[in-house]
Structure 1
Amino acid sequence: MIIDAHHHLWDLGVRDQEWINGPELAPLKRSFLLPDFEHEVRQAHVAATVLVQTVTVAEETPEFLSLAATSDLIAGVVGWTDLTAPDVADELARLASLPGGSFLRGIRHQVQAEPDPGWLTRPEVLRGLRAVAKAGLVYDLVVLPGQLPAATRAAASLPGLTFVLDHLGKPPISSGQHEPWARHVRELAALPNAVCKLSGMVTEADWASWTVDDLRPYADTVIDAFGPRRLMFGSDWPVSTLAAGYGEVVETTRQLTAQLTPAEQADVFAGTARRVYRVAPSGGGQYVGHGAPAAD
Protein backbone atom coordinates (compact mmCIF):
# COMPACT_ATOMS: atom_id res chain seq x y z
CA MET A 1 0.00 0.00 0.00
CA ILE A 2 1.16 3.51 -0.83
CA ILE A 3 0.16 6.91 0.48
CA ASP A 4 1.38 9.52 -1.98
CA ALA A 5 2.18 12.41 0.36
CA HIS A 6 2.84 15.01 -2.32
CA HIS A 7 1.09 15.71 -5.59
CA HIS A 8 -0.48 18.66 -7.35
CA LEU A 9 -3.47 19.41 -9.56
CA TRP A 10 -4.30 22.52 -11.56
CA ASP A 11 -6.89 23.70 -14.03
CA LEU A 12 -5.65 26.37 -16.42
CA GLY A 13 -9.29 27.13 -17.22
CA VAL A 14 -9.64 28.42 -13.65
CA ARG A 15 -6.32 30.25 -13.30
CA ASP A 16 -2.87 30.43 -14.79
CA GLN A 17 0.13 28.86 -13.08
CA GLU A 18 2.51 31.77 -13.37
CA TRP A 19 5.53 29.70 -12.41
CA ILE A 20 5.15 27.61 -15.58
CA ASN A 21 7.17 29.63 -18.06
CA GLY A 22 9.94 28.95 -20.54
CA PRO A 23 10.27 26.18 -23.11
CA GLU A 24 11.63 23.62 -20.65
CA LEU A 25 8.38 23.71 -18.64
CA ALA A 26 6.12 23.70 -21.70
CA PRO A 27 4.93 20.10 -21.05
CA LEU A 28 3.31 21.35 -17.82
CA LYS A 29 1.40 24.14 -19.58
CA ARG A 30 -1.91 22.30 -19.55
CA SER A 31 -4.51 21.29 -17.01
CA PHE A 32 -3.78 18.32 -14.75
CA LEU A 33 -7.08 17.26 -13.18
CA LEU A 34 -8.12 14.60 -10.69
CA PRO A 35 -9.25 12.09 -13.37
CA ASP A 36 -5.80 12.41 -14.98
CA PHE A 37 -4.15 11.62 -11.66
CA GLU A 38 -6.50 8.72 -10.96
CA HIS A 39 -5.51 7.25 -14.30
CA GLU A 40 -1.84 7.43 -13.30
CA VAL A 41 -2.25 5.79 -9.89
CA ARG A 42 -4.54 3.02 -11.12
CA GLN A 43 -1.46 0.90 -11.79
CA ALA A 44 -0.16 1.39 -8.23
CA HIS A 45 -1.24 0.34 -4.74
CA VAL A 46 -2.15 3.92 -3.85
CA ALA A 47 -4.58 4.03 -0.98
CA ALA A 48 -4.64 7.78 -0.41
CA THR A 49 -2.89 11.01 -1.32
CA VAL A 50 -2.06 14.46 -0.01
CA LEU A 51 -2.83 17.31 -2.42
CA VAL A 52 -0.37 20.20 -2.10
CA GLN A 53 -0.79 23.86 -3.04
CA THR A 54 0.78 25.25 -6.19
CA VAL A 55 0.23 29.03 -6.11
CA THR A 56 -0.04 31.77 -3.51
CA VAL A 57 -3.68 32.45 -4.33
CA ALA A 58 -6.22 32.40 -1.51
CA GLU A 59 -8.95 30.80 -3.62
CA GLU A 60 -6.94 27.63 -4.37
CA THR A 61 -7.11 26.11 -0.89
CA PRO A 62 -10.94 26.18 -0.60
CA GLU A 63 -11.11 24.62 -4.07
CA PHE A 64 -8.77 21.82 -3.00
CA LEU A 65 -10.73 21.21 0.21
CA SER A 66 -13.95 20.95 -1.75
CA LEU A 67 -12.31 18.54 -4.17
CA ALA A 68 -11.03 16.38 -1.32
CA ALA A 69 -14.54 16.17 0.10
CA THR A 70 -15.77 14.55 -3.11
CA SER A 71 -12.77 12.26 -3.69
CA ASP A 72 -12.10 8.71 -2.51
CA LEU A 73 -8.42 9.29 -3.16
CA ILE A 74 -7.43 12.66 -1.66
CA ALA A 75 -7.18 12.23 2.12
CA GLY A 76 -5.48 15.49 3.02
CA VAL A 77 -4.71 18.98 1.71
CA VAL A 78 -1.69 21.19 2.29
CA GLY A 79 -2.96 24.64 1.44
CA TRP A 80 -1.75 28.21 1.47
CA THR A 81 -2.56 31.27 3.50
CA ASP A 82 -0.62 34.45 4.15
CA LEU A 83 1.44 33.68 7.24
CA THR A 84 2.27 37.35 7.70
CA ALA A 85 -1.36 38.50 7.84
CA PRO A 86 -2.48 39.84 11.25
CA ASP A 87 -5.61 37.65 11.07
CA VAL A 88 -3.85 34.43 10.07
CA ALA A 89 -5.39 32.47 12.98
CA ASP A 90 -8.87 33.56 11.97
CA GLU A 91 -8.18 32.61 8.35
CA LEU A 92 -7.02 29.14 9.36
CA ALA A 93 -10.20 28.71 11.37
CA ARG A 94 -12.26 29.87 8.39
CA LEU A 95 -10.58 27.36 6.09
CA ALA A 96 -11.29 24.57 8.56
CA SER A 97 -14.97 25.56 8.62
CA LEU A 98 -15.41 25.39 4.83
CA PRO A 99 -16.83 22.42 2.93
CA GLY A 100 -14.06 19.85 3.08
CA GLY A 101 -12.28 21.85 5.78
CA SER A 102 -11.70 18.69 7.82
CA PHE A 103 -9.20 17.64 5.13
CA LEU A 104 -6.87 20.56 5.84
CA ARG A 105 -3.64 19.07 7.16
CA GLY A 106 -0.98 21.69 6.57
CA ILE A 107 0.13 25.01 5.13
CA ARG A 108 2.86 25.77 2.62
CA HIS A 109 4.40 28.92 1.17
CA GLN A 110 6.78 29.18 -1.79
CA VAL A 111 9.73 30.13 0.39
CA GLN A 112 12.02 29.13 -2.50
CA ALA A 113 10.81 32.26 -4.33
CA GLU A 114 11.57 34.60 -1.40
CA PRO A 115 14.76 36.64 -2.00
CA ASP A 116 15.45 36.84 1.75
CA PRO A 117 17.20 33.60 2.81
CA GLY A 118 16.07 34.29 6.38
CA TRP A 119 12.39 34.78 5.50
CA LEU A 120 11.25 31.91 7.74
CA THR A 121 12.76 33.59 10.80
CA ARG A 122 11.09 36.95 10.36
CA PRO A 123 8.99 37.82 13.45
CA GLU A 124 5.75 38.09 11.47
CA VAL A 125 6.38 34.72 9.80
CA LEU A 126 7.14 33.03 13.12
CA ARG A 127 3.91 34.48 14.49
CA GLY A 128 2.05 32.93 11.58
CA LEU A 129 3.78 29.60 12.09
CA ARG A 130 2.71 29.62 15.73
CA ALA A 131 -0.87 30.01 14.51
CA VAL A 132 -0.37 27.00 12.22
CA ALA A 133 0.81 24.95 15.19
CA LYS A 134 -2.09 26.11 17.37
CA ALA A 135 -4.52 25.07 14.63
CA GLY A 136 -3.13 21.53 14.79
CA LEU A 137 -1.60 21.68 11.31
CA VAL A 138 1.87 20.95 9.96
CA TYR A 139 4.05 23.22 7.86
CA ASP A 140 5.54 22.09 4.54
CA LEU A 141 8.93 23.56 3.67
CA VAL A 142 9.65 24.20 0.00
CA VAL A 143 13.12 25.72 0.25
CA LEU A 144 16.42 25.87 -1.58
CA PRO A 145 19.59 24.56 0.09
CA GLY A 146 20.67 28.07 1.10
CA GLN A 147 17.39 28.54 2.97
CA LEU A 148 17.78 25.38 5.05
CA PRO A 149 19.63 27.12 7.94
CA ALA A 150 16.72 29.52 8.43
CA ALA A 151 14.31 26.58 8.28
CA THR A 152 16.31 24.88 11.01
CA ARG A 153 16.24 27.97 13.20
CA ALA A 154 12.49 28.31 12.71
CA ALA A 155 11.90 24.65 13.54
CA ALA A 156 14.11 24.91 16.63
CA SER A 157 12.15 27.89 17.88
CA LEU A 158 8.79 26.14 17.39
CA PRO A 159 9.18 22.61 18.79
CA GLY A 160 5.41 22.12 18.85
CA LEU A 161 5.10 22.46 15.07
CA THR A 162 5.99 19.65 12.67
CA PHE A 163 8.04 20.90 9.71
CA VAL A 164 7.89 18.72 6.59
CA LEU A 165 10.81 19.20 4.20
CA ASP A 166 9.61 18.85 0.61
CA HIS A 167 11.89 17.37 -2.07
CA LEU A 168 14.86 16.83 0.30
CA GLY A 169 15.42 20.60 0.30
CA LYS A 170 16.14 20.57 -3.44
CA PRO A 171 19.74 19.33 -3.50
CA PRO A 172 21.77 20.11 -6.65
CA ILE A 173 21.62 16.56 -8.00
CA SER A 174 22.24 17.56 -11.61
CA SER A 175 25.66 18.98 -10.70
CA GLY A 176 26.58 16.15 -8.34
CA GLN A 177 27.31 18.64 -5.57
CA HIS A 178 26.65 17.30 -2.07
CA GLU A 179 27.80 20.02 0.30
CA PRO A 180 26.75 22.26 1.94
CA TRP A 181 23.27 20.79 1.32
CA ALA A 182 24.05 17.57 3.23
CA ARG A 183 25.34 19.42 6.28
CA HIS A 184 22.33 21.74 6.34
CA VAL A 185 19.84 18.90 5.95
CA ARG A 186 21.47 16.94 8.79
CA GLU A 187 21.16 19.98 11.03
CA LEU A 188 17.44 20.14 10.30
CA ALA A 189 17.06 16.38 10.76
CA ALA A 190 18.62 16.63 14.23
CA LEU A 191 15.39 18.29 15.37
CA PRO A 192 12.67 15.80 16.39
CA ASN A 193 9.90 17.96 14.87
CA ALA A 194 11.38 17.74 11.35
CA VAL A 195 10.21 15.24 8.71
CA CYS A 196 11.31 14.81 5.09
CA LYS A 197 9.65 13.74 1.84
CA LEU A 198 11.45 11.46 -0.59
CA SER A 199 10.08 13.47 -3.47
CA GLY A 200 11.18 15.72 -6.30
CA MET A 201 14.51 14.02 -6.85
CA VAL A 202 14.12 13.26 -10.55
CA THR A 203 13.49 16.89 -11.43
CA GLU A 204 16.56 18.04 -9.48
CA ALA A 205 18.62 15.64 -11.60
CA ASP A 206 19.30 15.81 -15.33
CA TRP A 207 15.82 15.25 -16.74
CA ALA A 208 16.98 13.42 -19.84
CA SER A 209 19.74 11.20 -18.48
CA TRP A 210 19.34 10.67 -14.72
CA THR A 211 19.93 7.27 -13.17
CA VAL A 212 19.05 5.77 -9.81
CA ASP A 213 22.73 5.95 -8.90
CA ASP A 214 22.67 9.72 -9.48
CA LEU A 215 19.95 10.03 -6.82
CA ARG A 216 21.30 7.49 -4.35
CA PRO A 217 23.80 9.68 -2.42
CA TYR A 218 21.07 12.22 -1.69
CA ALA A 219 18.48 9.61 -0.73
CA ASP A 220 21.03 7.85 1.47
CA THR A 221 21.80 11.13 3.24
CA VAL A 222 18.20 11.77 4.27
CA ILE A 223 17.54 8.11 5.08
CA ASP A 224 20.50 8.20 7.46
CA ALA A 225 19.64 11.64 8.86
CA PHE A 226 15.89 11.33 9.37
CA GLY A 227 15.37 7.58 9.57
CA PRO A 228 12.41 5.77 7.96
CA ARG A 229 9.88 6.87 10.59
CA ARG A 230 10.46 10.49 9.56
CA LEU A 231 10.53 9.91 5.80
CA MET A 232 7.60 9.67 3.42
CA PHE A 233 7.12 9.01 -0.26
CA GLY A 234 5.76 11.74 -2.54
CA SER A 235 5.43 11.57 -6.31
CA ASP A 236 5.44 15.33 -6.98
CA TRP A 237 3.15 14.54 -9.92
CA PRO A 238 2.74 16.16 -12.43
CA VAL A 239 5.97 18.16 -12.05
CA SER A 240 7.77 14.82 -11.97
CA THR A 241 6.55 14.05 -15.51
CA LEU A 242 9.26 16.37 -16.80
CA ALA A 243 11.74 13.60 -16.00
CA ALA A 244 9.82 10.37 -15.32
CA GLY A 245 6.46 8.64 -15.41
CA TYR A 246 4.50 7.99 -12.23
CA GLY A 247 5.37 4.30 -12.07
CA GLU A 248 9.03 5.07 -12.69
CA VAL A 249 9.08 7.47 -9.73
CA VAL A 250 7.58 4.80 -7.48
CA GLU A 251 9.95 2.09 -8.68
CA THR A 252 12.93 4.41 -8.28
CA THR A 253 11.94 5.13 -4.68
CA ARG A 254 11.60 1.40 -4.07
CA GLN A 255 15.13 0.88 -5.34
CA LEU A 256 16.46 3.72 -3.20
CA THR A 257 14.88 2.19 -0.08
CA ALA A 258 15.55 -1.48 -0.90
CA GLN A 259 18.13 -1.76 1.88
CA LEU A 260 15.47 -1.02 4.52
CA THR A 261 13.49 -3.71 6.31
CA PRO A 262 9.90 -4.35 5.16
CA ALA A 263 8.61 -2.51 8.22
CA GLU A 264 10.84 0.49 7.47
CA GLN A 265 9.74 0.53 3.85
CA ALA A 266 6.13 0.48 5.04
CA ASP A 267 6.86 3.60 7.08
CA VAL A 268 8.34 5.41 4.07
CA PHE A 269 5.51 4.46 1.73
CA ALA A 270 2.58 4.87 4.12
CA GLY A 271 3.18 4.91 7.87
CA THR A 272 4.91 8.26 8.21
CA ALA A 273 2.34 10.04 6.03
CA ARG A 274 -0.46 8.42 8.02
CA ARG A 275 0.99 9.76 11.28
CA VAL A 276 2.12 13.21 10.10
CA TYR A 277 -0.89 14.07 7.95
CA ARG A 278 -3.44 11.99 9.91
CA VAL A 279 -4.34 10.18 6.71
CA ALA A 280 -7.11 7.62 6.93
CA PRO A 281 -7.36 5.80 3.59
CA SER A 282 -10.88 5.03 2.45
CA GLY A 283 -12.09 1.68 1.26
CA GLY A 284 -10.22 -0.30 3.92
CA GLY A 285 -6.81 0.72 2.60
CA GLN A 286 -7.51 0.22 -1.07
CA TYR A 287 -7.83 2.95 -3.63
CA VAL A 288 -11.46 2.87 -4.72
CA GLY A 289 -11.44 5.40 -7.58
CA HIS A 290 -13.22 4.13 -10.66
CA GLY A 291 -14.32 1.01 -8.80
CA ALA A 292 -11.05 -0.92 -8.85
CA PRO A 293 -7.98 -1.29 -6.63
CA ALA A 294 -4.91 0.40 -8.03
CA ALA A 295 -1.20 -0.18 -7.93
CA ASP A 296 1.68 2.43 -8.20
Structure 2
Amino acid sequence: MTGGPVIDAHHHVWDLAVRPQPWIGGAALAPLARTFRYGELARQARESGVVGTVVVQTVCVPEETPELLALASGRPLLAGVVGWTDLTAPDVADALAALRELPGGERLVGIRHQVQEEADPRWLLRPEVLRGLAAVADSGLAYDLVVRPRQLPAAAEAAARLPELTFVLDHLGKPPVATGALGPWADDLRRLAALPNTAAKLSGLVTEAAPGRWRPEHLAPYAGAALDAFGPRRLLFGSDWPVCTLEAGYREVLDLARELTAALSPAERRAVFHDNAVRAYRLRPAAGAV
Protein backbone atom coordinates (compact mmCIF):
# COMPACT_ATOMS: atom_id res chain seq x y z
CA MET A 1 0.00 0.00 0.00
CA THR A 2 2.19 2.81 -1.32
CA GLY A 3 2.02 5.87 0.86
CA GLY A 4 -0.26 4.35 3.49
CA PRO A 5 -4.01 3.68 3.56
CA VAL A 6 -6.27 5.98 1.57
CA ILE A 7 -9.89 7.00 1.89
CA ASP A 8 -11.25 8.48 -1.31
CA ALA A 9 -13.59 11.11 0.16
CA HIS A 10 -15.25 12.12 -3.10
CA HIS A 11 -16.45 10.12 -6.07
CA HIS A 12 -19.66 9.51 -7.98
CA VAL A 13 -21.52 6.69 -9.71
CA TRP A 14 -24.49 6.78 -12.07
CA ASP A 15 -26.50 4.49 -14.30
CA LEU A 16 -28.02 6.26 -17.28
CA ALA A 17 -30.53 3.44 -17.68
CA VAL A 18 -31.92 4.37 -14.27
CA ARG A 19 -31.69 8.17 -14.42
CA PRO A 20 -30.30 10.79 -16.79
CA GLN A 21 -27.64 13.20 -15.63
CA PRO A 22 -28.89 16.55 -16.98
CA TRP A 23 -25.61 18.31 -16.18
CA ILE A 24 -23.75 16.16 -18.74
CA GLY A 25 -24.06 18.15 -21.94
CA GLY A 26 -21.87 19.44 -24.75
CA ALA A 27 -18.81 18.01 -26.45
CA ALA A 28 -16.47 18.63 -23.52
CA LEU A 29 -18.48 16.35 -21.21
CA ALA A 30 -19.38 13.75 -23.82
CA PRO A 31 -16.98 11.11 -22.41
CA LEU A 32 -19.07 11.11 -19.21
CA ALA A 33 -22.29 10.26 -21.05
CA ARG A 34 -22.20 6.58 -20.12
CA THR A 35 -22.91 4.48 -17.08
CA PHE A 36 -20.23 4.43 -14.37
CA ARG A 37 -20.85 1.67 -11.82
CA TYR A 38 -19.28 1.20 -8.42
CA GLY A 39 -17.56 -2.01 -9.44
CA GLU A 40 -15.50 -0.10 -11.99
CA LEU A 41 -14.40 2.36 -9.34
CA ALA A 42 -13.79 -0.30 -6.69
CA ARG A 43 -11.31 -2.22 -8.84
CA GLN A 44 -9.20 0.86 -9.42
CA ALA A 45 -9.50 1.99 -5.82
CA ARG A 46 -8.29 -1.31 -4.36
CA GLU A 47 -5.38 -1.43 -6.80
CA SER A 48 -4.39 2.03 -5.54
CA GLY A 49 -4.41 1.16 -1.82
CA VAL A 50 -7.80 2.71 -1.08
CA VAL A 51 -9.48 1.22 2.00
CA GLY A 52 -12.69 3.24 1.96
CA THR A 53 -14.66 5.58 -0.27
CA VAL A 54 -17.37 8.21 0.05
CA VAL A 55 -19.88 8.40 -2.80
CA VAL A 56 -21.47 11.80 -3.42
CA GLN A 57 -24.83 12.65 -4.98
CA THR A 58 -25.00 14.11 -8.50
CA VAL A 59 -28.65 15.13 -8.99
CA CYS A 60 -31.08 16.92 -6.72
CA VAL A 61 -33.89 14.37 -6.72
CA PRO A 62 -35.15 12.36 -3.72
CA GLU A 63 -34.78 8.97 -5.44
CA GLU A 64 -30.99 8.98 -5.80
CA THR A 65 -29.95 8.94 -2.13
CA PRO A 66 -31.89 5.76 -1.21
CA GLU A 67 -30.23 4.08 -4.20
CA LEU A 68 -26.77 5.13 -3.02
CA LEU A 69 -27.51 3.91 0.50
CA ALA A 70 -28.66 0.55 -0.87
CA LEU A 71 -25.46 0.39 -2.91
CA ALA A 72 -23.39 0.99 0.23
CA SER A 73 -25.23 -1.66 2.23
CA GLY A 74 -23.08 -4.78 2.36
CA ARG A 75 -20.12 -3.17 0.60
CA PRO A 76 -17.41 -2.58 3.23
CA LEU A 77 -15.29 -0.49 0.85
CA LEU A 78 -18.10 2.06 0.48
CA ALA A 79 -17.72 3.77 3.83
CA GLY A 80 -20.07 6.71 3.42
CA VAL A 81 -22.77 8.39 1.35
CA VAL A 82 -23.21 12.13 0.89
CA GLY A 83 -26.81 12.36 -0.26
CA TRP A 84 -29.42 14.99 -1.02
CA THR A 85 -32.62 16.19 0.56
CA ASP A 86 -34.57 19.39 0.07
CA LEU A 87 -33.09 21.75 2.64
CA THR A 88 -35.93 24.21 2.14
CA ALA A 89 -38.66 21.70 3.03
CA PRO A 90 -40.36 22.24 6.40
CA ASP A 91 -40.00 18.52 7.19
CA VAL A 92 -36.29 18.23 6.42
CA ALA A 93 -35.55 16.70 9.84
CA ASP A 94 -38.12 13.96 9.24
CA ALA A 95 -36.71 13.35 5.76
CA LEU A 96 -33.22 12.87 7.18
CA ALA A 97 -34.52 10.49 9.86
CA ALA A 98 -36.34 8.49 7.17
CA LEU A 99 -33.15 8.14 5.14
CA ARG A 100 -31.39 6.79 8.21
CA GLU A 101 -34.03 4.04 8.47
CA LEU A 102 -33.49 2.77 4.92
CA PRO A 103 -31.22 -0.15 3.97
CA GLY A 104 -27.70 1.24 4.21
CA GLY A 105 -28.97 4.24 6.16
CA GLU A 106 -26.14 3.93 8.68
CA ARG A 107 -23.77 4.92 5.85
CA LEU A 108 -25.37 8.34 5.41
CA VAL A 109 -22.61 10.76 6.47
CA GLY A 110 -23.50 14.03 4.77
CA ILE A 111 -25.85 16.08 2.63
CA ARG A 112 -25.13 18.16 -0.46
CA HIS A 113 -27.03 20.49 -2.77
CA GLN A 114 -25.82 21.84 -6.12
CA VAL A 115 -25.38 25.37 -4.78
CA GLN A 116 -23.08 26.09 -7.74
CA GLU A 117 -26.17 26.04 -9.97
CA GLU A 118 -28.12 28.54 -7.88
CA ALA A 119 -28.28 32.01 -9.42
CA ASP A 120 -28.42 33.69 -6.02
CA PRO A 121 -24.83 33.91 -4.66
CA ARG A 122 -26.30 34.13 -1.14
CA TRP A 123 -28.60 31.12 -1.49
CA LEU A 124 -26.99 29.45 1.51
CA LEU A 125 -28.09 32.36 3.70
CA ARG A 126 -31.78 32.16 2.93
CA PRO A 127 -33.71 31.58 6.19
CA GLU A 128 -35.27 28.35 4.98
CA VAL A 129 -31.86 27.01 3.89
CA LEU A 130 -30.24 27.90 7.21
CA ARG A 131 -33.10 26.11 8.96
CA GLY A 132 -32.42 23.04 6.82
CA LEU A 133 -28.70 23.20 7.53
CA ALA A 134 -29.45 23.33 11.26
CA ALA A 135 -31.44 20.10 10.84
CA VAL A 136 -28.44 18.52 9.10
CA ALA A 137 -26.31 19.46 12.10
CA ASP A 138 -28.89 18.08 14.52
CA SER A 139 -28.78 14.79 12.62
CA GLY A 140 -25.03 14.47 13.20
CA LEU A 141 -24.24 14.80 9.50
CA ALA A 142 -21.74 16.95 7.63
CA TYR A 143 -22.65 19.34 4.82
CA ASP A 144 -20.72 19.31 1.53
CA LEU A 145 -20.31 22.70 -0.14
CA VAL A 146 -20.20 22.55 -3.94
CA VAL A 147 -19.83 26.22 -4.79
CA ARG A 148 -18.11 28.52 -7.22
CA PRO A 149 -15.69 31.22 -6.05
CA ARG A 150 -18.37 33.93 -6.05
CA GLN A 151 -20.35 31.87 -3.52
CA LEU A 152 -17.50 31.40 -1.04
CA PRO A 153 -18.33 34.53 1.02
CA ALA A 154 -21.86 33.26 1.67
CA ALA A 155 -20.47 29.82 2.52
CA ALA A 156 -18.22 31.39 5.14
CA GLU A 157 -21.11 33.37 6.61
CA ALA A 158 -23.29 30.24 6.77
CA ALA A 159 -20.51 28.32 8.51
CA ALA A 160 -20.11 31.15 11.01
CA ARG A 161 -23.82 31.08 11.80
CA LEU A 162 -23.84 27.30 12.31
CA PRO A 163 -20.70 26.43 14.31
CA GLU A 164 -22.19 23.06 15.27
CA LEU A 165 -22.22 21.90 11.62
CA THR A 166 -19.14 20.62 9.79
CA PHE A 167 -18.91 22.19 6.33
CA VAL A 168 -16.74 20.31 3.82
CA LEU A 169 -15.75 22.36 0.77
CA ASP A 170 -15.70 20.27 -2.40
CA HIS A 171 -12.96 20.81 -5.00
CA LEU A 172 -11.43 23.72 -3.02
CA GLY A 173 -14.32 25.88 -4.20
CA LYS A 174 -13.39 25.46 -7.89
CA PRO A 175 -10.47 27.89 -8.08
CA PRO A 176 -9.65 29.65 -11.37
CA VAL A 177 -6.84 27.27 -12.29
CA ALA A 178 -7.33 27.75 -16.02
CA THR A 179 -6.52 31.46 -15.78
CA GLY A 180 -3.67 31.12 -13.30
CA ALA A 181 -5.25 33.67 -10.99
CA LEU A 182 -5.36 33.25 -7.21
CA GLY A 183 -7.39 36.22 -5.98
CA PRO A 184 -10.03 36.83 -4.84
CA TRP A 185 -10.53 33.05 -4.50
CA ALA A 186 -7.56 32.61 -2.14
CA ASP A 187 -8.69 35.43 0.15
CA ASP A 188 -12.23 34.04 0.37
CA LEU A 189 -10.84 30.54 0.96
CA ARG A 190 -8.85 31.83 3.93
CA ARG A 191 -11.95 33.45 5.40
CA LEU A 192 -13.80 30.16 5.21
CA ALA A 193 -10.85 28.22 6.62
CA ALA A 194 -10.60 30.60 9.58
CA LEU A 195 -13.71 28.91 10.95
CA PRO A 196 -12.85 25.72 12.88
CA ASN A 197 -15.96 23.86 11.67
CA THR A 198 -14.74 23.80 8.06
CA ALA A 199 -12.65 21.40 5.98
CA ALA A 200 -11.87 21.12 2.28
CA LYS A 201 -11.31 18.42 -0.30
CA LEU A 202 -8.19 18.26 -2.41
CA SER A 203 -10.27 17.14 -5.36
CA GLY A 204 -11.57 18.23 -8.73
CA LEU A 205 -8.56 20.35 -9.67
CA VAL A 206 -7.60 18.49 -12.85
CA THR A 207 -10.85 19.52 -14.52
CA GLU A 208 -10.56 23.15 -13.39
CA ALA A 209 -7.24 23.47 -15.21
CA ALA A 210 -7.00 24.24 -18.90
CA PRO A 211 -7.08 21.03 -20.97
CA GLY A 212 -3.85 19.13 -20.55
CA ARG A 213 -2.45 21.61 -17.98
CA TRP A 214 -3.09 19.76 -14.73
CA ARG A 215 0.48 18.84 -13.82
CA PRO A 216 1.86 19.63 -10.34
CA GLU A 217 3.46 22.86 -11.47
CA HIS A 218 0.04 24.13 -12.62
CA LEU A 219 -1.86 23.06 -9.52
CA ALA A 220 0.73 23.62 -6.77
CA PRO A 221 -0.26 27.27 -6.10
CA TYR A 222 -3.86 26.23 -5.40
CA ALA A 223 -3.00 23.18 -3.32
CA GLY A 224 -0.48 25.32 -1.44
CA ALA A 225 -3.07 28.01 -0.73
CA ALA A 226 -5.45 25.35 0.60
CA LEU A 227 -2.77 23.81 2.81
CA ASP A 228 -1.84 27.23 4.17
CA ALA A 229 -5.50 28.03 4.86
CA PHE A 230 -6.83 24.76 6.27
CA GLY A 231 -3.63 23.01 7.32
CA PRO A 232 -3.02 19.29 6.83
CA ARG A 233 -5.53 18.39 9.57
CA ARG A 234 -8.54 19.74 7.65
CA LEU A 235 -7.78 18.74 4.09
CA LEU A 236 -9.21 15.52 2.57
CA PHE A 237 -8.22 13.66 -0.57
CA GLY A 238 -10.94 12.97 -3.13
CA SER A 239 -10.59 11.54 -6.63
CA ASP A 240 -13.73 13.10 -8.15
CA TRP A 241 -14.01 9.95 -10.26
CA PRO A 242 -15.37 9.62 -12.92
CA VAL A 243 -15.39 13.36 -13.65
CA CYS A 244 -11.61 13.33 -13.29
CA THR A 245 -11.36 10.96 -16.27
CA LEU A 246 -11.97 13.90 -18.57
CA GLU A 247 -8.32 14.73 -17.88
CA ALA A 248 -6.66 12.00 -15.80
CA GLY A 249 -7.12 8.43 -14.64
CA TYR A 250 -7.84 7.35 -11.09
CA ARG A 251 -4.25 6.45 -10.20
CA GLU A 252 -2.94 9.60 -11.88
CA VAL A 253 -5.16 11.76 -9.68
CA LEU A 254 -4.04 9.95 -6.54
CA ASP A 255 -0.37 10.23 -7.51
CA LEU A 256 -0.87 13.91 -8.29
CA ALA A 257 -2.34 14.54 -4.83
CA ARG A 258 0.59 12.72 -3.24
CA GLU A 259 3.04 14.87 -5.17
CA LEU A 260 1.23 18.07 -4.18
CA THR A 261 1.51 17.05 -0.51
CA ALA A 262 5.01 15.55 -0.66
CA ALA A 263 6.46 18.17 1.69
CA LEU A 264 4.19 17.07 4.55
CA SER A 265 5.31 14.74 7.30
CA PRO A 266 4.16 11.10 7.22
CA ALA A 267 1.60 11.84 9.96
CA GLU A 268 0.29 14.85 8.04
CA ARG A 269 -0.02 12.84 4.83
CA ARG A 270 -1.92 10.12 6.68
CA ALA A 271 -4.28 12.82 7.93
CA VAL A 272 -4.95 14.16 4.41
CA PHE A 273 -5.38 10.76 2.81
CA HIS A 274 -7.18 8.91 5.61
CA ASP A 275 -7.75 10.33 9.07
CA ASN A 276 -9.40 13.61 8.14
CA ALA A 277 -12.14 11.84 6.18
CA VAL A 278 -12.81 9.55 9.13
CA ARG A 279 -13.17 12.55 11.42
CA ALA A 280 -15.14 14.88 9.12
CA TYR A 281 -17.66 12.23 8.15
CA ARG A 282 -17.60 10.23 11.39
CA LEU A 283 -16.85 7.09 9.43
CA ARG A 284 -17.04 3.84 11.31
CA PRO A 285 -13.59 2.22 11.57
CA ALA A 286 -14.85 -1.10 10.26
CA ALA A 287 -16.35 0.58 7.21
CA GLY A 288 -12.96 1.18 5.67
CA ALA A 289 -11.96 -2.48 5.58
CA VAL A 290 -11.23 -3.95 2.17
**TM more than 0.5:** yes
Structure 2 residue aligned with 1:58? 62
Equivalent of 2:172 in 161, 168, 171: 168
Are residues 1:18 and 2:15 paired? no
Find the aligned partners of 1:66 and 1:273 in 2 and give their Cα distance.
21
One-letter identity of the residue aligned with 1:126: L
Say whether the 8 Å CA contact 1:45–1:286 is kept in structure 2: no
Note the residue ranges of structure 1 that are not aligned, 5 or more in a row.
288-296
Note the residue ranges of structure 2 that are not aligned, 5 or more in a row.
none
One-letter identity of the residue aligned with 2:179: S
> How many equivalent residue pairs?
286
Structure 1 residue aligned with 2:13? 9
Q: 1:208: Cα distance to partner? A: 2.1
One-letter identity of the residue aligned with 2:251: G
Say whether the 8 Å CA contact 1:48–1:282 is kept in structure 2: no
Equivalent of 1:103 in 86, 103, 107: 107
Matches within 5 A, 1:220-259: 220-259=224-263
Find the aligned partners of 2:28 and 2:249 in 1 and give their Cα distance.
17
Are residues 1:117 and 2:121 paired? yes
Find the aligned partners of 2:79 and 2:160 in 1 and give their Cα distance.
29
Say whether the 8 Å CA contact 2:52–2:77 is kept in structure 1: yes
Say whether the 8 Å CA contact 2:76–2:289 is kept in structure 1: no
Find the aligned partners of 2:283 and 2:53 in 1 and give their Cα distance.
8
Say whether the 8 Å CA contact 2:205–2:214 is kept in structure 1: no
Find the aligned partners of 1:86 and 1:279 in 2 and give their Cα distance.
28
Q: 1:286: Cα distance to partner? A: 4.8
Q: For CA contacts below 8 A with separation 6 or more, give which structure has more relative contact order.
A: 1
Structure 2 residue aligned with 1:74? 78
Find the aligned partners of 1:269 and 1:23 in 2 and give their Cα distance.
33
Are residues 1:201 and 2:205 paired? yes
Find the aligned partners of 2:11 and 2:253 in 1 and give their Cα distance.
12
What does the per-residue CA deviation read over 1:217-246, in whole Å, with 9 as the maximum and x for residues that have no partner? Answer: 000001011011101100000000001000
Say whether the 8 Å CA contact 1:138–1:162 is kept in structure 2: yes
Find the aligned partners of 1:168 and 1:193 in 2 and give their Cα distance.
15
Find the aligned partners of 1:4 and 1:211 in 2 and give their Cα distance.
20
Query: % of aligned pairs identical?
Result: 62
Secondary structure of the residue that 1:125 maps to in structure 2?
helix
One-letter identity of the residue aligned with 2:135: A
What does the per-residue CA deviation read over 1:41-69, in whole Å, with 9 as the maximum and x for residues that have no partner? Answer: 13211000001000001000000001100
What TM-score results when the alignment is normalised by the length of structure 1?
0.95
Structure 1 residue aligned with 2:45? 41
Are residues 1:272 and 2:276 paired? yes
Equivalent of 2:95 in 91, 97, 101: 91
CA shift in 2, pair 1:118/1:81, >3 Å: same
One-letter identity of the residue aligned with 1:227: G
Secondary structure of the residue that 2:192 maps to in structure 1?
helix
Secondary structure of the residue that 2:23 maps to in structure 1?
coil
Structure 2 residue aligned with 1:31? 35
Q: 1:72: Cα distance to partner? A: 2.2
Find the aligned partners of 2:270 and 2:276 in 1 and give their Cα distance.
8
What TM-score results when the alignment is normalised by the length of structure 2?
0.97
